[in-house]
Structure 1
Amino acid sequence: MLSLRGGRNQRQRRDLPDGTTLRWPGAEGKFALFAEVLWIGVLTVAGGLLIVTLPAALAASTRHLHRYLRADRSTIGQWWSDFGAALRTGWIVGLATTAAAVVLSFNLLLAGTRVLPGWQVVVAGGALAGVLVALILLQSAARWSPEHGWRRALRDGARSLITDPGAIIQLVLALLLTSIVTWQLLPLLVPGLGCLVFAVLAVKERERPAK
């Protein structure tokens, strides 16, 4: 199976009639790409089952999908290797993210009782803080690499929200879509997370106009 994928990748790395080369040859097969996105969802859910391991799973899945789109060799062994490398310090990121989510959820539930004065402000602030944490996590996971680690990934991920504000709208829409489909039917979390990883990678890699 791996040899077939390798052969297919070599065929996809062909030149176009105008002499240029496809930037994302792995995206040519639309059905195959859809299947790969679903597979990414399975890997992300499996890797993130312990919650604190979710950042590492997102980082590994983003790198895996990036290799696939470039028509490079992308195997489960490579995903597992990335996951293990990202988890060495990524569990700290996962623990901090989980703690923040618990605190924000508690505040939102408490504000939802409408007992606190100014509960509307608490709800709005908590929701915005939750979205911000999720955006930084997604942007950082897309920038993680074994060479640079999580510290640089977190710094670059947070900075990207300032340097590329357009990413906020696109990622919020992707988060909203994933949340809605999961709320409607829990098993849809698998394709939802796969599509979310695809969206994060597309936002990071999209072409920007030359200055």
Structure 2
Amino acid sequence: MKRFSLFGECLMAGLLVLLAALPVVTVVPALAAGCAHIKAHVDGETTSIRSFFERVRSALPGGWVASLGVVAAFAVLVVDVVLLRTRVAGGGVVAVVCGVAAVGLAVVVLRAAALWSPGSRWPAVARAAGRRAASDFGGSLLLVMSLAVMLIVTWQLPPLVVPMAGCVLMAAVAVDRRHQPVSPVAGSSTSR
């Protein structure tokens, strides 16, 4: 039953993130609030809709600037891919490079969203996310795979974007939690 409740929270987080990201300048704060929502559920804290929007509000200072930068970077990469593939000789290679850059940017944004906590400053979070994306190749690859699954599933059945967005947020939290020390379980024996 507990696993099903986690799936329910991922579904709720996906829906709330998609709604909160509609104004575009709230994309990064919405992702951060979604990751914080899933962390709160896993840690047994409050996961109400009201607490989600309080997390969005807490992530907005500086987060709207990050959102504009991320949206602008993705827009430039998409325009480059479209123009280069169709109108420039040899543009296919550059289009692939732009595609790889877009995937890398998505991984850094997801890592930043998972690293964010109330009171964090976005420039510091972005630097830490970039360093972690480069140093933890396995975790970055897991996020790339989660994004690929989301794209494939939503391409086949677009309404599944809501639960898949929540699953990608859960993947970002899980990858981030790999770096935290594991606390011993109460009552477990450490003898060999």
- If the length of structure 1 is used for normalisation, what is the TM-score? 0.81
Percent of residue pairs identical: 35
What letter matches 2:100 in structure 1? Answer: L
Q: After TM superposition, list the pairs within 5 Å mapping 1:159-198 onto structure 2.
A: 159-198=131-170
Consecutive unaligned residues in structure 2, runs of 5 or more: 183-192
Give 1:76 deviation, angstroms.
1.8
Q: For residues 80 and 186 of structure 1, what CA distance do their matches in structure 2 show? A: 25
Q: Distance in 2 between matches of 1:76 and 1:35?
A: 13
Q: CA deviation at 1:185?
A: 2.3
- Higher RCO (CA-CA < 8 Å; seq separation 6+): 2
Q: Which of 42, 45, 58 is the aligned partner of 1:72?
A: 45
Q: Hey, what does 1:55 align to over in structure 2?
A: 28
Q: Distance in 2 between matches of 1:73 and 1:93?
A: 26
In 1, the alpha carbon distance for the partners of 2:179 and 2:107 equals 20
Higher gyration radius (CA): 1
Root-mean-square deviation (CA, aligned residues, Å) is 1.7
Residue 149 of structure 1 pairs with residue 111 of structure 2: no
The residue identity in structure 2 corresponding to 1:60 is: A
Name the SS for the 1:30 alignment partner: helix
Aligned length: 182
TM-score, length basis structure 2:
0.89
Unaligned runs of 5+ in 1: 1-27
User: Which 4+ stretches in 1 moved above 3 angstroms?
Assistant: 207-210
Secondary structure of the residue aligned to 1:145 is coil
CA offsets 1:32-87 (integer angstroms, 9 cap, x no match): 11111111111111111122311111100111110110112222222111101112
Matched residue, 1:97: 70
The residue type equivalent to 1:165 in the other structure is F
Q: Residue 41 in 1 paired to residue 14 in 2?
A: yes
Contact kept? 2:58, 2:119, Cα under 8 Å? no
Report the secondary structure of 1:125's partner residue. helix
Aligned-partner residue type, residue 90 of structure 1: G
Task: Give matches, 1:117-136, under 5 Å.
Answer: 117-136=89-108
The alpha-carbon deviation at position 209 of structure 1 amounts to: 8.8
The CA deviation at 1:201 is 0.3
In the alignment, the residues of structure 2 paired with residue 195 and residue 183 of structure 1 have an alpha-carbon distance, to the nearest angstrom, of 16
Letter in 2 for 1:164: D
Q: Distance in 2 between matches of 1:62 and 1:92?
A: 19
State the 1:111 CA deviation: 2.0
